[in-house]
Amino acid sequence: MHKVETRTVVPIKGLRGEFVVPGDKSISHRAIMFASLAEGKSRIHGLLRGEDCLSTLKAFQSLGVEIIEKADDELIIQGRGLAGLQEPSDVIDCGNSGTTMRLMSGILAAQPFFSILTGDQYLRKRPMGRVINPLTAMGAKILGRDGNSKAPLAIDGGGLTPAEYHSPIASAQVKSAVLLAGMQIDGATTVYEPHLSRDHSERMLRFFGADLESFSGGARVNGRVQLTGREVEVPGDISSAAFFLVAGLIVPNSEILLKNVGINPTRSGIIDILQQMGGSIELTNQRELSGEPIADLLVKSSQLHGIEIGGELIPRAIDEFPVISVAAAFAEGVTTIRDAKELRVKETDRIAAMCECLGALGADIEPLEDGMRIVGGIRLSGGQVNSFGDHRIAMSMAIAGLGSASEVEILDVDCTETSFPGFWELLTQISRGNTS
């Protein structure tokens, strides 16, 4: 029987120092994918070696792509071109990675062979109809469980035609799946979305040479333009930096510098939200790396206050809401999060999970259909919480533990390896000598 690993986090007096967070997960996925589809050799530096990205790496190896691992965070990929992938001899296991499954669906839907995508128990519960439907409208033949809405997915690829798709949700994964399918066929494929979702795919596809245009309501790709191998530098992941941004704000007597963090405007909602709450976060040394803006982030302890969060900020911070809710619990006054129904279909129902976890520590928090309402300023007590197998829940509760009245025990923490390998070691390192 699998032993559930637990971690105990104790309150600390202050955080000091400079830190580098792991490479951006979203960009790491795409670097592997687009380098594999390019002609020629690509070298990727700063890659995140989390379990999710390794699922993408293994998927492309199973499609005949030669990938050489030079160092812990460096790969050399010999691309096979848009028409060079091979039919896999076995089912492709996407692990816990929704990005792998949804983007691979778009890639494989246009390939002239049969493939099957599956994943772990959590991924097999997540909604896949959101990519199956637009791909089917392009002519894709995809079969899934539960009325064609859940994995495993059987894909009989090829025979697609370009399309215009109006997405009902702002989702980078849906947008990317459709663009990746359209990129491989003759003609122009356009995706429209209600709000701008993260644009890593568009930036990196252009970096690799795709004929792709972004506009205020979406993006358009012209197909059959061959990608060319490139040298890619992956910036630090703002979603990983988010945990230490909040830690630096809520733990008294803290001042930390997070170096080389990606600040893509479609992802930097966490910075805007925390600054609106009164957080001291300064962006320094701003520059560009492989088509992505990056900066060093200087964060200092701050007295936070509650705010209203909704609208266009939501897709720009969708992965950070577990730790944003922790910040709200430490802020004076009421924070209300709305328009975030997407949180209910992540690795777990993150609205329900964070309400249960923070509530167990004494927070005044209530779920809303599309968000939550948090009355902050109440010192959290210690206690035991469950991660529900969700990496962002586990790490968010660890940050809550740093500022609680007594220790917090978190159950089922192995899941943090999917996006932030070394998180617990870094947390131990910065906490050493600073316990209250």
Domain containing residue 349: CATH number: 3.65.10.10
pLDDT of residue 431: 75
Characterise 99 by phi-psi region: left (phi > 0), alpha (psi -120 to 50), beta (else).
Answer: alpha
Please pick, among 93, 319, 390, 412, the residue that the annotation labels catalytic. Answer: 319
pLDDT of residue 344: 92
pLDDT of residue 433: 47
Is 1 among the domain residues? no
Looking at 233, 257, 292, the residue that finishes a domain is 233
pLDDT of residue 434: 52
Residue partners of 135: CB distance under 8 A and separation at least 6: 105, 106, 109, 142, 160, 177, 178, 181
Is 277 among the domain residues? yes
Q: How many domains does the chain have?
A: 2
Tokens 């816990």 locate to 96
Backbone phi, psi, residue 276, to 5° = -65, -30
Q: In terms of domains, do 90 and 138 share one?
A: yes
Query: What distance in Å separates the CA atoms of residue 106 and residue 119, rounded to the nearest whole number?
Result: 16
Is 381 among the domain residues? yes
Regarding beta strands 211-215 and 114-118, do their DSSP bridges make them parallel or antiparallel, or are they unpaired? unpaired
Is 121 among the domain residues? yes
| CA 142 to centroid of chain Cα atoms | 25
pLDDT of residue 168: 94
Looking at 178, 209, 233, the residue that finishes a domain is 233
Residue partners of 11: CB distance under 8 A and separation at least 6: 401, 402, 403, 404, 405, 406, 407, 435, 436
Q: Which of 82, 98, 33 is nearest to 183 (CA)?
A: 82
Please report which helix (H) or strand (E) contains residue 358, including its range. Answer: helix 350-360
Query: What distance in Å separates the CA atoms of residue 113 and residue 108, rounded to the nearest whole number?
Result: 8
Tokens 């309150």 locate to 11
DSSP assignments along 47-90, one per residue: ---SHHHHHHHHHHHHTT-EEEEEETTEEEEEEE-TT-----SS
pLDDT of residue 1: 39
Q: In terms of domains, do 168 and 141 share one?
A: yes
Per-residue pLDDT of the chain (436 residues; tens, 9 = 90+): 346 799 999 999 999 989 899 999 999 999 999 999 999 999 999 999 989 999 999 999 999 999 999 888 899 999 999 999 999 999 999 999 999 999 999 999 999 999 999 999 999 999 999 999 999 999 999 999 999 999 999 999 999 999 999 999 889 999 999 999 999 999 999 999 998 889 999 999 999 999 999 999 999 999 999 999 999 999 999 999 999 999 999 999 999 999 999 999 999 999 999 999 999 999 999 999 888 999 999 999 999 999 999 998 998 999 999 999 999 999 999 999 999 999 998 889 999 999 999 999 999 999 999 999 999 999 999 999 999 999 999 999 999 999 999 999 999 999 998 889 899 998 988 776 454 4
Q: In terms of domains, do 122 and 53 share one?
A: yes
- Supply the angle between the helices 238-250 and 423-431 in degrees, to the nearest 10: 20
Query: What distance in Å separates the CA atoms of residue 417 and residue 50, rounded to the nearest whole number?
Result: 6
Q: In terms of domains, do 85 and 12 share one?
A: no
Q: Which of 372, 263, 352, 356 is nearest to 316 (CA)?
A: 263
Q: In terms of domains, do 224 and 318 share one?
A: no
90 an active-site residue? no
pLDDT of residue 214: 96
Indicate the residue type of 397: M
Tokens 């209300």 locate to 336
Q: In terms of domains, do 226 and 285 share one?
A: no
Is 436 among the domain residues? no
Q: In terms of domains, do 221 and 281 share one?
A: no
pLDDT of residue 329: 98
Is 226 among the domain residues? yes
pTM of the model: 0.88
Q: In terms of domains, do 200 and 311 share one?
A: no
DSSP E strands, 377-426: 383-386, 408-411
Is 267 among the domain residues? yes
Is 252 among the domain residues? yes
Q: In terms of domains, do 210 and 274 share one?
A: no
Q: Which of 352, 327, 306, 304 is nearest to 403 (CA)?
A: 327
Q: In terms of domains, do 321 and 308 share one?
A: yes
Q: In terms of domains, do 254 and 212 share one?
A: no
Q: In terms of domains, do 206 and 167 share one?
A: yes
Query: What distance in Å separates the CA atoms of residue 178 and residue 190, rounded to the nearest whole number?
Result: 8
Looking at 209, 233, 257, the residue that finishes a domain is 233
* 49 bridge partner residues: none
Domain that holds residue 190: 25-233
CB-neighbour burial class of residue 398 (10 A; exposed 0-12, middle 13-18, buried 19+): buried
Residue partners of 433: CB distance under 8 A and separation at least 6: none
pLDDT of residue 347: 82
Bond before 315 cis per omega within 30 degrees: no
Q: Report the SS3 class of residue 337.
A: strand
Instruction: Calculate ∠ Cα 20-25-26, nearest 5°.
Output: 130
